[in-house]
């Protein structure tokens, strides 16, 4: 008699019984929404907030009467910042819990890990974080910013308003910074910046000793030309980076740092006094002054029972994505994936920066771009914004291999990487 067999049997039974347990709820009285954000591990620091935001949005919607006459039910799982576990949990949400849509992921690698699952099981993922682009998948809606909705306007702002001529592109060595920096490098050179006036620097995840790099930045900035730093440094490493900047006396007035991954949440762990004037580019700031945002912030503070909790851009992305999904489901009259996928394109909902965001055929959305300066109270003050909305550009025009590609998921084309030069849908290998 093997203990293993017994143990396996017991475990199988346990899993099957949880399946049955969840299955019992799957009766048609609720519509289930999956929430796939890490609640432990390295990414918990950013993702837990999004889980809470989703729970709040679902609760609010239920107060308004739910969807299609049914209540919404959130299914929360913890993929624990473990990328293969993301795929396992996504599969569990879709095939065991039978959720109608999943809101989740933060890092690119977690998204890449779950993509095949959503494709195979034909379900829907809403991805709320700014990312590197170069992707458009049938089952994914990208509600965060593509590089053209964040990076390029920020660089434009610095060139025009601060007459920056010399650039430090500093990032964590992963795909988002790499791609963004490639795009920016090509863009800057097309604007007449000399290659020797661009310095690119990559650091490991969670880098905490920034002395050398900050002093390199100071050195690079002492060539007599106005210098700025474009930071794609990832979440956790930012606090020590900014602390070092502040302590080494790099002032925003001398060498401004514009960041794409630093929001209100990251600043909450910092004394922002020495950082006033450093910049960030987002599509939303908590400080945006309009009634919808005020209401959102109020609800959020009440929901978390914490007056100090801040809101940030990915939360707004979930807000937009969730409302778009609600609208599309209502339009389709069902939560059936194919019908919702069709109904999503063209759906337009209010965003929190005072306008409307629309889902485009490439599964990216239109957004305003805001440039904000860090204030002493840890908030951003908008110093510039795009006059209109910017359409997310999934395949960058500044990369040689992607400039000919477009994505359009509407009926005849239905392709995520259509090559306009050859007239073929690349992904189908024809």
* Interaction residues for another protein, span 131-150 (CB under 8 A): 134-135
Contact yes or no for 317/128 (Cβ under 8 A): yes
Site for another protein in 204-233 (CB under 8 A): 204-209, 211-213, 215-216, 218-219, 221-225
Answer for which of 26, 55, 68, 85 binds another protein (CB under 8 A) is 85
User: Is residue 381 involved in binding another protein (CB under 8 A)?
Assistant: yes
Please tell me whether residue 291 binds another protein under the rule CB under 8 A. Answer: no
Query: Which span sits near another protein by CB under 8 A: 62-70, 337-345, 347-355, 376-384?
Result: 376-384
- To another protein, the closest distance from the beta carbon of 174 in angstroms equals 4
Q: Which of residues 7-36 bind another protein (CB under 8 A)?
A: 7-8, 11-12, 14-16, 18-19
Question: How far apart are CB 424 and another protein at their closest, in Å?
Answer: 8
What is the Cα–Cα distance from 183 to 170, expressed in whole angstroms? 14
391-410 binders of another protein (CB under 8 A): 399-402, 405
Interacting residue with another protein among 277, 350, 354, 361 (CB under 8 A): 277
d(CA 356, CA 28) in angstroms, rounded, equals: 33
Sign of CA pseudo-dihedral 135, 141, 144, 146: positive
Nearer to another protein, 177 or 368 (CB): 177
Nearer to another protein, 329 or 416 (CB): 416
Judged by DSSP in three states, 268 sits in coil
Q: How far is the CB of 38 from another protein (least distance, A)?
A: 9
In SS3 terms, 338-366 reads as HHHHHHHCCCEEECCCCCEEEECCCCEEE
- Whole-number Å distance between alpha carbons of 124 and 7: 35
- In the region spanning residues 147 to 176, those forming contacts with another protein, defined by CB under 8 A, are 161-162, 173-175
Closest approach of another protein to the CB of residue 251, in Å: 9
How far, rounded to the nearest angstrom, does the alpha carbon of residue 117 sit from its chain's CA centroid? 19
Q: Which helix (H) or strand (E) holds 123?
A: none
Q: Which of 26, 39, 189, 292 binds another protein (CB under 8 A)?
A: 39
Residues 304-323 interacting with another protein (rule: CB under 8 A): none
Per rule CB under 8 A, is residue 78 in the interface with another protein? yes
CA distance 122 to 207: 38
Measured from the CB atom, the residue of 107 and 351 that comes closer to another protein is: 107
Annotate each residue in 87-116 with x if it binds another protein (CB under 8 A) or - if it does not, as one string: xxx-xx--xx----------xxx--xx-xx
Whether the CB-CB separation of 140 and 363 falls below 8 Å is answered with: yes
Pairing of strands 405-408, 390-391: unpaired
Handedness of CA 152, 153, 158, 164 (dihedral sign): positive
70: DSSP letter:
B
With H, G, I as helix, E, B as strand and everything else as coil, classify residue 381: strand
- Gap between the Cα atoms of 71 and 63, Å rounded: 9
Interface size with another protein, residues (CB under 8 A): 119
Handedness of CA 334, 104, 377, 157 (dihedral sign): negative
Q: Which parts of 186-205 interact with another protein (CB under 8 A)?
A: 201-205
State the minimum distance, in angstroms, from the CB of residue 330 to another protein: 29
Instruction: Please report how close the Cβ of residue 211 comes to another protein at its closest, in angstroms.
Output: 4
Of 57 and 343, nearer to another protein (C-beta) is 57
Contacts of residue 162, Cβ cutoff 8 Å, sequence gap at least 6:
226, 228, 256
The reply to whether 55 sits near another protein by the rule CB under 8 A is: no
Of 141-149, 269-277, 325-333, 347-355, the segment contacting another protein by CB under 8 A is: 269-277
Residues 327-366 that bind another protein (CB under 8 A): none
Does 290 help bind another protein (rule: CB under 8 A)? no
User: Does position 80 bind another protein by CB under 8 A?
Assistant: yes
Contacts of 247 (CB under 8 A, 6+ apart): 274
């Amino acid at each position: 008699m093997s203990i293993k067999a017994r143990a396996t049997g017991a475990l199988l039974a346990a899993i099957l019984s949880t399946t049955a347990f969840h299955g019992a709820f799957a009766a048609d009285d609720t519509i289930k929404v999956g929430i796939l954000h890490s609640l432990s591990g390295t990414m918990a620091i950013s993702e837990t907030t999004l889980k809470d935001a989703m729970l709040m949005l679902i609760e609010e919607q239920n107060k308004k009467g739910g969807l299609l006459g049914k209540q919404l039910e959130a299914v929360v799982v913890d993929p624990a910042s473990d990328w293969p576990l993301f795929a396992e949990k996504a599969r569990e949400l879709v095939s065991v819990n039978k959720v109608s849509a999943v809101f989740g992921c933060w890092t690119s690698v977690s998204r890449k890990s779950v993509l095949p699952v959503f494709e195979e099981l034909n379900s829907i993922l809403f991805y709320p974080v700014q990312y590197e682009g170069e992707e458009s998948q049938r089952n994914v809606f990208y509600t965060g910013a593509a590089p053209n909705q964040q990076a390029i306007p920020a660089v434009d702002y610095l060139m025009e308003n601060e007459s920056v001529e010399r650039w430090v592109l500093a990032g964590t060595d992963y795909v988002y910074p790499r791609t963004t920096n490639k795009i920016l490098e090509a863009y800057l050179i097309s604007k007449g910046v000399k290659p020797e006036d661009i310095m690119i620097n990559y650091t490991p995840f969670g880098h905490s000793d920034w002395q050398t790099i900050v002093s390199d930045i100071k050195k690079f900035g002492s060539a007599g030309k106005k210098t700025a730093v474009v930071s794609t440094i990832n979440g956790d490493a930012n606090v020590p980076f900014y602390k070092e900047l502040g302590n080494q006396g790099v002032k925003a007035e001398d060498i401004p740092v514009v960041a794409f991954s630093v929001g209100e949440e990251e600043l909450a762990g910092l004394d922002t006094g020495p950082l006033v004037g450093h910049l960030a580019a987002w599509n939303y700031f908590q400080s945006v002054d309009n009634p919808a945002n005020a209401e959102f912030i109020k609800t959020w503070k009440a929901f978390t029972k914490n007056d100090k909790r801040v809101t940030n851009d990915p939360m707004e992305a979930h807000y937009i994505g969730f409302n778009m999904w609600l609208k599309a489901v209502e339009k389709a009259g069902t939560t059936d994936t194919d019908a919702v996928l069709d109904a999503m394109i063209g759906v337009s909902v209010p965003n929190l920066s005072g306008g409307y965001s629309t889902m485009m055929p490439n599964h990216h959305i239109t957004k305003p771009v805001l440039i904000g300066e860090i204030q002493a109270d840890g908030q951003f003050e908008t110093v510039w914004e795009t006059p209109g909305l910017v359409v997310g550009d999934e395949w960058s025009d500044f990369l040689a291999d992607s400039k000919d590609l477009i994505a359009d998921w509407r009926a005849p084309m239905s392709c995520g990487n259509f090559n306009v030069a050859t007239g073929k849908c690349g992904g189908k290998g024809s």
